[in-house]
Amino acid sequence: MATLAHLSDLHLGSSASAARTLEEAVAALADTELIVVTGDLTENGRTAELAAFDRITAPLADRLVVVPGNHDRCGDDVGAQLMRGVRVDVQVRGGCSIVRIDSTAPHNRVPWLSHGRMCQQVLEQVDVALGAVPDSVMTVVALHHHVVPLPAEGFWEQVSEVLHLPNHSELALGTELLKVLRSRCDLVLHGHRHVPRQFIVDGDSARPLRVFNAGSTTELGAFRTFDFAGGRLLGDPRWHQVTPEPRPSPQVWQAPVCALQLA
Ligand SMILES: [Fe+2]
Ligand SMILES: [Fe+2]
């Protein structure tokens, strides 16, 4: 059996407590085989903020998979270097294949324009990538932005929703991505929205597709882990609190599982 941890939306540079909470999480992950961080590693996309991420997570470096978030594209655009110029690739770690998708775009250099972008070409690249992964291998897709509509969080997202701006929206091809992934992938891990969520596609099938939003690890002071063996997930994920007090209450972590129907 092996364990995967999902962290996201660290926003290093936003506060001293963000770095402290990440340090506590890294200490808790000493024996975890695979750690996926789904973007917004930094608050302002600055080189010094990414250097802080690299320094704090150095003990996990050989087990770490990251994708960029919209905040990483601001400032010095450190997000651009995280994917080394590709939109999709596959990394194999700890007996698991992780398909990384860059859902950010140049418009994210403007902090207000936080929404993601996914084009048909990316879907085709994901399709090809999955075709090279044997069915027997645990398969994870990692990206930053949400793939299905989620409730607006905070004043500015509510303003965006009222004005029908794209800023708060899910990825335009998010549902199409899930159609490409169904029956070929076990987990979709994302962030961007800071409240955790979970969904399931084809829940009665032999290989359901489960979609998890980590929320902001440094705001929550907590992260999920997933156990897997024989190429498949084992049961439900578990939450791990790394701060002395829950922030906010544990009820926020325990989002109900919503079934998604794909046409
Ligand atoms: Fe974020
Ligand atoms: Fe984000």
Ligand index nearest the alpha carbon of residue 79? 2
C-alpha 190 to ligand 2 mean position (Å): 10
C-alpha 256 to ligand 1 mean position (Å): 21
Report the pLDDT averaged over residues 20-38.
97
C-alpha 51 to ligand 2 mean position (Å): 19
The candidate with the shortest Cα–Cα distance to 146, out of 156, 133, 157, is: 157
C-alpha 184 to ligand 1 mean position (Å): 28
Bigger pLDDT: 38 vs 151 = 38
Ion ligand 1: residue ranges with CB closer than 5 A: 9, 40
pLDDT at res. 115:
94
Q: Cβ contacts of residue 198 below 8 Å, gap of 6+?
A: 210, 211, 212, 213, 255, 256, 257, 258
Q: Look at residue 246 and tell me whether its pLDDT is greater than 80.
A: no
pLDDT at res. 158:
84
Ligand index nearest the alpha carbon of residue 73? 2
Q: Cβ contacts of residue 1 below 8 Å, gap of 6+?
A: 227, 228, 229, 234
Determine the 3-state secondary structure of 151 from DSSP.
coil
How many Å is the Cα radius of gyration of the chain? 17
Give residue for tokens 């973007």.
39
Q: Look at residue 251 and tell me whether its pLDDT is greater than 70.
A: no
Q: Cβ contacts of residue 57 below 8 Å, gap of 6+?
A: 22, 26, 35, 37, 64
248 falls in which pLDDT band (50, 70, 90)? Answer: low
- Cβ-contact 240, 27 below 8 angstroms: no
pLDDT at res. 75:
97
pLDDT at res. 249:
65
Ion ligand 2: residue ranges with CB closer than 5 A: 40, 69-70, 192
C-alpha 118 to ligand 2 mean position (Å): 15
C-alpha 245 to ligand 1 mean position (Å): 21
Determine the 3-state secondary structure of 48 from DSSP.
helix
Options 3.60.21.10, 3.40.50.2300, 3.40.1160.10, 3.40.50.11540; which CATH number does 2-260 get?
Answer: 3.60.21.10
What tokens does 86 get?
């590709």
C-alpha 156 to ligand 2 mean position (Å): 13
| Residues listed for the chain | 263
C-alpha 111 to ligand 2 mean position (Å): 10
pLDDT digits (tens, 9 = 90+) for 157-173: 888 788 787 888 899 99
C-alpha 194 to ligand 2 mean position (Å): 8
C-alpha 143 to ligand 1 mean position (Å): 12
C-alpha 114 to ligand 2 mean position (Å): 6
With helix as H, strand as E and coil as C, how does 55-111 read? HHCHHHHHHEEEECCHHHHCCCCCHHHHCCCCCEEEEEECCEEEEEECCCCHHHHCC
Q: Look at residue 255 and tell me whether its pLDDT is greater than 80.
A: no
pLDDT at res. 79:
95
The candidate with the shortest Cα–Cα distance to 236, out of 261, 205, 203, 262, is: 203
Ligand index nearest the alpha carbon of residue 214? 1
C-alpha 263 to ligand 2 mean position (Å): 28
> How far, in Å, are 172, 206, 253 from residue 11 at the CA level?
25, 37, 19
CA distance 8 to 78: 16
68 falls in which pLDDT band (50, 70, 90)? Answer: very high
Q: Look at residue 40 and tell me whether its pLDDT is greater than 90.
A: yes
Residue 22 neighbours by CB distance under 10 Å? 23
Mean pLDDT estimate for the chain: 94
pLDDT at res. 219:
93
Which of the residue ranges 96-100, 140-144, 154-158, 171-175 would you say has the lowest mean pLDDT?
Answer: 154-158
From the number of C-beta atoms within 10 Å of its C-beta (0-12, 13-18, 19+), residue 146 rates as: buried
Ligand index nearest the alpha carbon of residue 74? 2
Determine the 3-state secondary structure of 138 from DSSP.
strand
